[in-house]
Every structure is written in structure tokens, then in C-alpha cells.
Structure 1
Amino acid sequence: MLDRQNILKAAADRGFDLCGVVPCRHLAENEARFRNWLSCGYQSSLGYLERNTEKRFDPRLLVESARTAVVCAVAYKNRASGGYAPECRTKVASYAAACDYHTTLRGMLHGLLEELRGANPDLRGRVFVDTAPLAEKQLAVEAGLGWIGRQSLLVTPQYGTFVVLGELLLDQEADSYDTPFAGSRCGTCRRCIEACPTGAILPDRMIDTGRCIACHTIERQPDTPIGLNGWIFGCDTCQNACPWNDRTPQHRNPSFDPLFDPRSMDAAAWRELNEEAFAERFGRTPLMRSGLQRILKNIDDGGPEQP
């Protein structure tokens, strides 16, 4: 049997800012909401979301022997998380200024898994970081880390929305589990809805990805063009509007130190790059997912740079 306190201590020692331990079960209510979202077509170009819905909301189907989910979070807020000048036409989501969090979190989670195996050699488990059908934000709620805000992001009391998530699915039960986060602390606030320049934030914590700037700048582009409002990779607009982010601390894990300052690069600086220079400077960041040509296209689609 897993020792919950040992898991929490080991996660903190590995550099995670938050950690919770939950039993694996079927999240039936969330599955029903997700299926309704799909039926409305709000997934737009993200066709992969239509697959493996049953597994997404029942970790026991994703990993047959799964009994316990360990949900970990790292805060990544940095200088660029505070937003950009209104006239900026080359905005980059602040998480993308650091090393690709998929790589960083996977390394941290594998280290955590090996440490837990040291105390329990029979333990088996798998690492997940945003690349498998797993309802990780809802698992984070179940683990007591926070609630789902109106912008559909996890909001944590300590670090706001500027967190990234990773999970371990383990084949043993724990001696105790965390209590799910109760309710929402958004109150009557609608700042994220009012701030979204394309109206992508819908009622009932839903997102229309066909109108989401992050989807248009990173994912397979939806059919209907939208204004990018100066964003060339991702979008932090709803996060910058959230009052829970106003007084949250800067990140403390050095693995999330920015590798560049996106506020220092205007359109001319991006256009001066060739493929080799781009790879050398941004090869460890999430920007490689889009590539230089996609970023340059986003600059052009975002409109002329303001004087």
C-alpha cells in the first residue's frame, strides 16, 4: 500500500509546487459534459479529442491496473506572464519562454516514480504529461489542487492559473486520499469572458476552440479565420485578466526559468531569423512545435505592427 505522506514529501523534494493523491474512478459527470461539448462541435480542428472518450474519464481504462492517481503541478509564472503592451504584435504565451514543460515534467515524474519504487519495489506505474486522453484538470480538482474557472483552466489558490500538470497512474491503493476541491471561487467575476477578444469563452466553463487564439496559433488551424490580437504562439489573455493571478508569486523551480524574453522581440527580430538560428535559440522551447514559418505566418495574420 502507498504512503500518501511519503508521496507528497517526495513530490515536493522533486520540485513540484502542488501534489494530490486520488483514487482512480469513473468521472461520469465530467464525461457527460465533455460529450455534450463535442456534440456542439466546439472541438473544431482538434479531432483527436473525439477519440478514447471512455478512457479520458476513467484512468482504469487507460491503464488497466491503475488504482491511484498522483496529480502534480508546477507554477511557471514569469516576467512575461504579466502581459504585453496593447500595441505589441508579437505576443508569446509565457509558458513557452521556458524549456518545453512536457520534457521537464516527464523527467520530474519519472524521478518521482523511481523514488516511490525505492520504498515499494513491486510498484508499477505510468507517467502522463498532456499527451494522452486523461482528464488531468478534473483529476487536479479531485486531488484538491483547485477548481475549474470560467475560462476552463485549473485555478489554484496559491498560484492562480499559471501551472502545468503531470500525473502518475499507479497500480496500488494509498493509505489515504486527498479531499476534492469543493465548489468554485470565481464568484460573480467575468473578467476572463470579457477580456477574450474573440468570444471563445462560453457559458458553463466551455471553450469554442474554433474561436480560441491559442488553437489558431499552435494547433491545426480551424477553418474560420479569426483576429489573433497580436498573439503569435498561444494566448495568455484570459489568464492575465484573472484576479487570482494578480498577486501570485513568480515561479521558484529553476527548471522553469525563461530561456528568452518574448517582450524583447518585435516582428523585425522574428523575421531576421533563419531556420538554423531559430532552432539554436528556441530548440528547447515549445515554439519548436509550431516552427519558424508558422510563427511568421501568425505575425502576418495578426496584422501590421503598430508604430
Structure 2
Amino acid sequence: MSDTRLTLPIWDELASLSDDALPLLPTALLIASDEYPELDPAAYDRMLQAHADHLRVEVEATGEWPLKIAAINHHLFNELGYSGNNDEYYDPRNSYLNEVFERRLGNPISLALVQMEVAHRLGLPLEGISFPGHFLVRLPVEDGVLIMDPFNGGRPLSVDELRERARSNLGGETPDDTVLAQILDPAPHRAILMRMLRNLHGVYVERGEWDRAARSADRILKLAPKQADAVRDRGLAYLELEHLAGARADFASYLKMEPEAADAGSVRDRLIELGGERPRLH
């Protein structure tokens, strides 16, 4: 049974946790709590448990894993109505898990998280795939892995379709078996959570909501402090917010971390304009 006393982790403690120890659902709700500080994590934990309990008898009576996941998908996507938000794909609510539960609308990664969590509570090792473009999920089966698209009702994807999807996001190059297998590796919890935050960062940059863009980049650094791109992105958001000291510090840190980056010259120019010293490279 799920712990109805579910509490949120502490941001400053997450970087020290291994990927295996990093809790996926509580940290996803922690991300949401930045925007919705009054959310009740235990309520959403109970909601997930109710989804799983509704399915338990049917799933336990079904022998094969593909049939078990088909029953889970039917309940989530057909009966409960979870679906991909095609009409407002870049609505930030699609990334906040409390909103996904309430509205039954989400993006690929948030819907995958709901699907994975219900499957895990029913004994199925459903894993996420940080696929280029849309996030996917995978389930081990006797003759390999079953790949599914949570944004489209958990629909299974063929190898040919996976190659085509990957090709369109890899500069037109079709991946061979080895590359495709690497792309289909399961994503660690930290990678999943960072992708959620990068999605939010991109949405807020596009909207010009620089305080939230800065927050999203900062939260990535709470999970993985050595992410140079997040340091740069936070600095750019600070610059838009006229938090010049923060921008200077982040630009200088970025150049020390990535002195040969393709955008190092432009970042260095910004730092000089802000009155920061040119960082010394060793």
C-alpha cells in the first residue's frame, strides 16, 4: 500500500542522493510546490493508489505483462481520461503533476510519470525513456521490450516508427540498431526530473517569465550542481531580471566550467559588459 503520509523532500538534500535513492513522485510534486505551495502531496499519492487499487484484481488475474499494461492503459487513458494536451502543449500546467491529476491533461513526461507510478504499484517495472522529442516508456517482455507513447494513450510503437521518430530529431540521420538501443535505455530518476524542469524553463523563457525561468534553472542545479547549461541559463534569466550580481557570478562560473563552449564568446562579452573580470583560464 502507498504511504498516505507522503511528504516532500528538501531541495538542498537532493544533489547528494544517488539516482536510485532520488524519489520520483515526491520530487515531481516538490517541483509543482514551487508554483502551488499549498498542494497536499498525500492527496495525490492517495489518488494514484486509488487508480492502482481499482485495477488490482484485473491485473493480478492477467498472466502476461503486455496484457497487464494494456489494462492499466485502458483505465488511465480511456476510463479516467488522462490525455496529451495537444491544444495547449506548452501550457506550464502540463508539467506540474498536481495539475495533471486534476485536469487529466499533461505532456509526455508527466503522463509517463502517472503511468509508471500506477504500474509500479501493481508490480510492473515500467521505465521511462528520455527519447528525443517525446518522452516514452518501456516494459520488458519475453522477446525484448515493449515501447509505448503515454502522450497518445499508451500506444505501442514499432521499431520502424521509433527509427522515424528518432531520425526526425537527429538531423535526419536514421539510427542503426546500436544507436537505437542506446536511445531506448531507461532514464534515471534524476534525468527524468531534470527534463521536466528543462521543459518548464523553455516554456517560461518563451513567455518572458524570467523569474520562473530562473527558478527552473536553479532547481536543475539543486538536482545536479555541475550542469553548466543550467548555470548559464540562470545567468541569462538573472540578466533579464536586472539581478546583475547573480548574472555576473553565473556567467563567470559557466566560462570556468565550459571555456571552449560554442557560446563562450558571447557569454564572455556579456560578462565584460556587466563589468565582470575576464575569467582566468588555467
TM-score between both structures, scaled by the size of structure 2? 0.28
Larger Rg: 2
Higher strand share goes to which structure? Answer: 1
Q: Which has the higher helix share?
A: 2
1 or 2 for the larger relative contact order (CA 8 Å, sep ≥6)? Answer: 1
